[in-house]
Each structure stands twice: as structure tokens, then as C-alpha cells.
């Protein structure tokens, strides 16, 4: 290319994410049961239909009584109380507990009227069926106050959050059996390259197994997308043209390979010459040559072919765009030096050793084990060096 390109080049990671997000269609919403909502994005705010706990309840197995009756209790001078009944989870004690009295109580059972403290079973000695001795005072802290988790009417889960196992459990506790979620994006997935071969097939010299489609397909499913597997296309303009046409019904086409500077990188040429390009190249390493464009209205994100690059670009740009969830770096101490490069943010693979992060021994974008063996991506800002002992931002893998 000699003339200045008509599209932005060398965009930042946040700019690339914003560009992709802007091209994605609105997927709409649907109602699904909680069992089918894992990984989906909540499309409504969820309010509590009940309070939890619904009444102040015991956090332990023991007895419920009046704290004031027990303040003098010690192992040497235990305090006796009369047992007047029991309170079980789901079967509360019906009466009121008076001075010098207690009820046997179990975890999750409501505190009976008249009581304000719990003494655990480990601190009790039975004296026949109707009396106990307390070896230490009962404590008001060993209860779970009504509404400690949430109160009826509280808006507890905001719209837009991904439904993790803990959030699904919470939705159930709030009293919801179904939730409104965003419809899944339909993402077509294509590998390119003459040398790329499906795993399980014989491999001739110079060929490589198609690891990208497996990794990217798994990443897409993890973010709740429907995957349309378009398989693999060779480095031929006609084959790629046909594959681009075949992806027409999808919300997004994700390709790997063929967007770099090489003579056979036809995906790049096709989009520049016969499609529309939104940007080409991101100021990141690994993953620089990523390309975003459109093919007859279909958004196309061209990931680089290098195995580490394709998965890292997905995690940094494609996933945040699909889920609407920003990257969340955390800060760690660098146990080794991390080197930056001018004009690019480096996402170095790092391994946790105690509270420190150490550089993985190999940082080549072709070494897939640098990703599978690592715990974090260490963010080294453009043109900076991170010396050993400094604090550094990392993204958990
Ligand atoms: P490219 O971006 O097409 O120039 O490819 C860069 C490197 O990534 C080359 O070494 C390719 O063999 C490799 N590569 C491309 N596609 C895949 C794939 N689907 N799975 C594994 N490696 C790939
Ligand atoms: Mg290629």
C-alpha cells in the first residue's frame, strides 16, 4: 500500500473494543430458566422478592436464650438454664422464652421471641433432658439478622452483569426461577491458511494443526455465544470470498490468520479492496495485526493467525465487546523484570509464585504453552520497563 489508507491504523486496545462494540447488532432479549442462564448477560435488574434471612436466625447449633442470664458463666462456674423446647430450620419454637429458660436451636432456625443470644453446643453440658449448663456466656453475634443478605424489594443484581454460578444462586435466593437475558450473539468462526489442518488428520511437514478454531470456539461459548463453525479455508481469494459470503446470517464473523503483512494474507486484501475496513492493527503485543471491517454489512474481526495472538486479542478486545464487561486489572508485585516496547502495550505471560508474578520463560506468540501454563497477562505500558520488585497491573487468565 503506497497511498495513505482511508481507515485508522494502530488503534489502542480500548479504541479497538469500542469500534467492535459499535458494529455489533442489538441481539434482543429472551426469558430463560436459571438452569439455562450460565454465562449469559442479565438484561433486567433483579429485585429481591423476599428477605434473606426471612427472620433473625441462629448461625450455630446450640441453645437460644437471654444473654443477660448467662454473663456470669465460666467453665468453673457454669450457669444452668431450663430447656423449654426447640427451634428447627423450617419449624420455629411456638412460645416465648422467659428468664432462666432456653430452647435447643439449630443452624438456620429462627430465634424465638424473648431470646437474643446463642451458646454453641460445644459449650454446653446436658443435665438431664430439661436442663443445660453453659460454660461461657451466650453471644448475640452468633445470629444472622433478618435481611442480613438482602431485604424484600432491594435491587440486588444490576442489569448487564454476566451470570456466574454465584449470581445464579443469588437469583434463586431472591425468588426468581427465570431471568431475562440478552439473546446470544451468533458468531461465525473461520480458520484460514494453506498449512492449517484439522486435529486428528495426518500432518505433513510444514503443516500445523488448527488450534485457533478450538480455542476461539471455546472462548466464544464461554461468553454465551452461539458458534457457527465455518471450518477452514485455504489462502485463496476465491475460497475466502465464498467463506465471507457464507457467514451472512451471523452477527459477527471471527477469522484467524491472513491479516498480517505477508503476500498470502488475502483476508486483509479482500476486506480492504472489496469490503470496508474500520481499523487495521492494534498497538499491542502479541496480536498487532488484528483487523476489523465489514463484508456486505456483516462485521468481520480478523484475528492474527499466531496461536497466542489470536487468543490474547480475543480476551482483550473481542470478549469485552461481546459481553460489555471491561477488563479488570489487579495489581501484583513483579518478581522478574518485564520489558516493554515503544508504541505498543505488551501483554506478557506471567506465572504466580506466592504474591509475585514471574515472566514465563518463553514469550513468543507462537508458543501456545506460554498461555496454557501461565496464570496472568502482565500489562507493560507502551515504552515502559517494569523492574523486578515494582508493582504491575495484571489480567487474570
Ligand atoms: P498468519 O497470521 O496467517 O500469517 O499466520 C501466522 C502464524 O500462525 C503461522 O505460523 C500460521 O501457521 C499460524 N496459524 C495460522 N492459523 C492457525 C490456526 N488456525 N491454528 C494454529 N496456528 C495457526
Ligand atoms: Mg496465514
Segment 135-163 mean pLDDT: 97
Segment 323-347 mean pLDDT: 97
User: Directed axis angle between helix 266-274 and helix 237-246, to 10°?
Assistant: 70
Tell me what pLDDT residue 202 has.
Answer: 98
pLDDT, tens digit, 9 for 90 and up, residues 184-210:
999 999 999 999 999 999 999 999 999
Segment 27-33 mean pLDDT: 97
Whether the full predicted model's pTM is greater than 0.75, yes or no, is: yes
**Does position 1 have pLDDT exceeding 60, yes or no?**
no
- Interval between CA 6 and ligand 1 midpoint (Å): 27
Nearest ligand by distance to the CA of 290: 1
Query: How many angstroms separate the most distant Cα atoms in the chain?
Result: 97
- Interval between CA 221 and ligand 1 midpoint (Å): 22
**Nearest ligand 1 atom, CA 210:** 20
- Interval between CA 258 and ligand 1 midpoint (Å): 8
Tell me if residue 279 falls in helix, strand or coil.
strand
Which of the four pLDDT bands, split at 50, 70 and 90, describes residue 55? Answer: very high
User: Cell 501484583 identifies what position?
Assistant: 332
**Does position 227 have pLDDT exceeding 60, yes or no?**
yes
CA 219 to chain CA mean position, Å:
12
Which of the four pLDDT bands, split at 50, 70 and 90, describes residue 25? Answer: very high
DSSP letters for 344-389 = BEEEEEEEEETTEEEE-S---TT-THHHHT-SEEEEE-TT-EE-TT
- d(CA 146, CA 17) in angstroms, rounded, equals 44
164, 182 Cβ separation under 8 angstroms: no
- Nearest 5°: the CA angle 300, 226, 31 is 125
**Does position 358 have pLDDT exceeding 80, yes or no?**
yes
- d(CA 8, CA 19) in angstroms, rounded, equals 11
**Does position 296 have pLDDT exceeding 90, yes or no?**
yes
- d(CA 324, CA 162) in angstroms, rounded, equals 9
Pocket (CB within 6 angstroms of ligand 1): 191, 193, 195-196, 208, 210-213, 256-258, 260, 262, 265, 304-307
Tell me what pLDDT residue 2 has.
Answer: 60
**Nearest ligand 1 atom, CA 213:** 19
96, 112 Cβ separation under 8 angstroms: yes
Looking at ligand 1, which residue's alpha carbon is closest to its atom 20?
Answer: 210
Q: Give the start-end residues of each E strand in 297-342.
A: 298-303, 330-334, 338-339
- d(CA 67, CA 27) in angstroms, rounded, equals 57
- d(CA 216, CA 234) in angstroms, rounded, equals 18
208, 251 Cβ separation under 8 angstroms: no
Tell me what pLDDT residue 324 has.
Answer: 94
Tell me if residue 217 falls in helix, strand or coil.
helix
Pocket test for ligand 1, best of 200, 286, 307 (most atoms within 8 A of CB): 307
Q: Please give the share of the chain, as a percent, with pLDDT higher than 90.
A: 97
- Nearest 5°: the CA angle 289, 294, 295 is 115
Tell me what pLDDT residue 3 has.
Answer: 74
User: For all residues of the chain together, what is the average pLDDT?
Assistant: 97
- Interval between CA 312 and ligand 1 midpoint (Å): 14
- Interval between CA 190 and ligand 1 midpoint (Å): 12
Q: Please give the share of the chain, as a percent, with pLDDT higher than 70.
A: 99
Query: In this structure, what C-alpha cell is assigned to residue 22?
Result: 459499535
**Does position 220 have pLDDT exceeding 60, yes or no?**
yes
Contacts of 120 (CB under 8 A, 6+ apart): 60, 61, 62, 142
Pocket test for ligand 1, best of 305, 367, 368, 371 (most atoms within 8 A of CB): 305
Segment 118-144 mean pLDDT: 96
**Does position 53 have pLDDT exceeding 70, yes or no?**
yes
- d(CA 89, CA 382) in angstroms, rounded, equals 58
- d(CA 378, CA 184) in angstroms, rounded, equals 30
Segment 376-395 mean pLDDT: 98
- d(CA 281, CA 72) in angstroms, rounded, equals 74
Amino acid at each position: 500500500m503506497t497511498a495513505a489508507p482511508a481507515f485508522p491504523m494502530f488503534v489502542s486496545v480500548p479504541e479497538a473494543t469500542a469500534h467492535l462494540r459499535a458494529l455489533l447488532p442489538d441481539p434482543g432479549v429472551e426469558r430463560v430458566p436459571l438452569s439455562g442462564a450460565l454465562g449469559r448477560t442479565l438484561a433486567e435488574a433483579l429485585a429481591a422478592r423476599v428477605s434473606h434471612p426471612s427472620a433473625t436466625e441462629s448461625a450455630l447449633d446450640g441453645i437460644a436464650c437471654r444473654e443477660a442470664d448467662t454473663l456470669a458463666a465460666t467453665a468453673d462456674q457454669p450457669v444452668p438454664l431450663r430447656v423449654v423446647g426447640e427451634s428447627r430450620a423450617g419449624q420455629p419454637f411456638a412460645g416465648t422464652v422467659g428468664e432462666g429458660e432456653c430452647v435447643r436451636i439449630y443452624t438456620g432456625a429462627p430465634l424465638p421471641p424473648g431470646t437474643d443470644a446463642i451458646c454453641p453446643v460445644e459449650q454446653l453440658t446436658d443435665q438431664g433432658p430439661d436442663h443445660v449448663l453453659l460454660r461461657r456466656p451466650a453471644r448475640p453475634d452468633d445470629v444472622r439478622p433478618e435481611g442480613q443478605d438482602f431485604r424484600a424489594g432491594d435491587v440486588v443484581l444490576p442489569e448487564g452483569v454476566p451470570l456466574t454460578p454465584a449470581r445464579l444462586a443469588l437469583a434463586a435466593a431472591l425468588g426468581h426461577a427465570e431471568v431475562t437475558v440478552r439473546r446470544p450473539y451468533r458468531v461465525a468462526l473461520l480458520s484460514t491458511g494453506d498449512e492449517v489442518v484439522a486435529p486428528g488428520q495426518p500432518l505433513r511437514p510444514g503443516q500445523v494443526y488448527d488450534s485457533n478454531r478450538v480455542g476461539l470456539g471455546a472462548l466464544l461459548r464461554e461468553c454465551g455465544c452461539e458458534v457457527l463453525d465455518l471450518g477452514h479455508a485455504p489462502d485463496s481469494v476465491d475460497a475466502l470470498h465464498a467463506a465471507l459470503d457464507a457467514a451472512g446470517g451471523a452477527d459477527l464473523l471471527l477469522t484467524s490468520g491472513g491479516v498480517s503483512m505477508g503476500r498470502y494474507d488475502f483476508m486483509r486484501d479482500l476486506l480492504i479492496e472489496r469490503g470496508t475496513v474500520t481499523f487495521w492493527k492494534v498497538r499491542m503485543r502479541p496480536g498487532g495485526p488484528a483487523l476489523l471491517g465489514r463484508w456486505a454489512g456483516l462485521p468481520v474481526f480478523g484475528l492474527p493467525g499466531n496461536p497466542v495472538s489470536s487468543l490474547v486479542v480475543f480476551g482483550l478486545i473481542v470478549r469485552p465487546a461481546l459481553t460489555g464487561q471491561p477488563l479488570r486489572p489487579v495489581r501484583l508485585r513483579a518478581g522478574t523484570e518485564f520489558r516493554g516496547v515503544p508504541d505498543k502495550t505488551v501483554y506478557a505471560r506471567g506465572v504466580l509464585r506466592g504474591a509475585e508474578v514471574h515472566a514465563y520463560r518463553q514469550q513468543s506468540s507462537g508458543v501456545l504453552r506460554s498461555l496454557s501454563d501461565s496464570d496472568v497477562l502482565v500489562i507493560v505500558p507502551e515504552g515502559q520497563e517494569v523492574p523486578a520488585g515494582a508493582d504491575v497491573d495484571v489480567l487474570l487468565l
